[in-house]
Amino acid sequence: MRTKLIASVLLIGVVMVLNPLRAQDTISKKNRLTIGGYGEAVYTRNFYSDNMYRYSHAESYKDAKSHGRLDLPHVVINLGYDFGKGWSMGSEIEFEHGGSEVAVEIEAEETGEFEHEIERGGEVALEQFWIQKSFGKGFNIRMGHLVVPVGQTNKAHMPTEFFTCYRPEGEFNIMPCTWHETGISLWGKLGSWRYEAMVIPALNSNMFNNANWVKNGSASAYEFRVANHLAGVLRIDNYSVKNLHLGVSGYIGNCFNNDIVTNEFTETSPYKDVKGTVVIGTAEFDYKADGLVLRSNFDYGFLSEANLISSWNKNQNHQSFSPYPRSQVGEKAIAYGGEAAYDLFRPMRSINDQKLYVFGRYDYYDSYIPSALTLTDYQWTDRHVMTFGLNYYPTDQIVVKAEYSKRFLKEQYNDEPSFSIGVAYSGFFNR
């Protein structure tokens, strides 16, 4: 009996050595891990001054020389894993503008003293890290650090999902982009509909300003995100019509006093009842068929008690190195735009799977619309932008971009033309 048992064990061992995993097991385990990401590199020549006084003293910079910039707007590494039984995780590590290079060096010319130096500007951020439990196609719970899908750009922010070298200018300048927060999301697909509802930390009104409205309100200079107030997000998408996508999204939350620097309210304080409610609503569509691509978006935002929040922000008595801009903020902001593109290689699709899109885009946005009681008006925030260019796709995951863009400001300011060329990729590497 013992001899037969030993022989059986040896036989099983030989089989395992010769064929350690069946083919379907290998495939199953391989497919559980996803590795991907996206990245962009852009060169821009701006034919206008970037001096900080170019709006307040516009006439002095009317004939300014051009200047060039090289940039790595975003480089992202994506890792995901399916644990089974409906549990999965996803993560994205993002390097913006090349990341940040900080070093401590010893200087031989300065009696050997140590110096702390910033060698390259940029940011490194955890854009996503979440755990998900799926109960079915119609209902999923996702918890962790999530992308907030308010607006067209936050929903489709990879460089192969828009034609311009940089993300479309309107949405990018009035709300966080890419907007990511730690919270909880409920989402699912029901027929031709997709929904997503989120609870996240509210924005921080101390970080609002005139140039970007509430864009910087999701930033935190601390090792944690202050969450004195929570906010709600809802997005609904529809795909009932072939080749057409329709989407609406919204955000609401109280932003005032949502920081470690808070107002010690008293009965006589003018800020006693301030909530600073931010409401954002967006609508969008995109259509793709027969080489033609059409997209459009509309975004509108409102901030209650904007005058009191502006007063609070400007009068904060903080040290010079504080992260707060101490700027006025508008009661409203608006952005809308649209683009059209056609694939010039479409007639040759049977012999060529490459794509060459010629496109045109228009954007209008104003990041500072004051209330009727506000005396200060920054008219340089009112902008129209026209962009024309080409996108060449040698494969679906790689795109080479070139564009000419011109920003039109009100007549007392100088218009801002530029030329950009870039290359980008996005996709998964093990699919």
Which pLDDT value is given to residue 17? 38
CATH architecture of 33-99+118-428: Beta Barrel (2.40)
In this structure, the dihedral spanned by the alpha carbons of residues 228, 371, 176 and 280, taken in order and rounded to 10 degrees, is 80
- Which is it for the CA torsion 282, 71, 407, 278, positive or negative? positive
Residues facing 365 on adjacent strands: 335, 383
Which pLDDT value is given to residue 270? 86
Q: Strand runs (DSSP E) across 255-350, as ranges?
A: 277-289, 292-303, 332-343
Please report, in angstroms and rounded to a whole number, the separation of the first and last CA atoms in the chain: 49
Query: What region does 353 belong to: left with phi over 0, alpha with psi -120 to 50, or beta?
Result: alpha
Is residue 164 reached through a cis peptide bond, with omega within 30 degrees of 0 on the bond before it? no
The residues, any chain, with a CB within 8 Å of residue 196's CB and separated by 6 or more, are 149, 185, 186, 187, 233, 234, 235
The residues, any chain, with a CB within 8 Å of residue 179's CB and separated by 6 or more, are 147, 148, 150, 154, 218
By the 8 A CB rule, do 76 and 39 touch? yes
Q: How far is CA 177 from CA 34, 163, 169, 180, 325, in A?
A: 24, 16, 10, 8, 18
Residue 99 phi, psi (nearest 5): 80, -175
The residues, any chain, with a CB within 8 Å of residue 407's CB and separated by 6 or more, are 169, 383, 384, 385, 415, 416, 417, 418
In which residue are the tokens 């004195």 written? Answer: 228
By the 8 A CB rule, do 186 and 197 touch? yes
With 0-12 / 13-18 / 19 or more C-beta atoms within 10 angstroms meaning exposed / middle / buried, residue 398 is: middle
Question: Which tokens is 102 given?
Answer: 């900080």
Which pLDDT value is given to residue 220? 84
Which pLDDT value is given to residue 24? 40
Q: In the chain, which stretches have pLDDT less than 70? A: 1-30, 101-120, 262-268, 317-321
Question: Which tokens is 167 given?
Answer: 């993300």
Which pLDDT value is given to residue 22? 41
Which pLDDT value is given to residue 222? 83
In this structure, the dihedral spanned by the alpha carbons of residues 349, 352, 353 and 355, taken in order and rounded to 10 degrees, is -80
Which pLDDT value is given to residue 340? 98
Rounded-to-integer distance, Cα 35 and Cα 79, Å: 5
Which pLDDT value is given to residue 229? 95
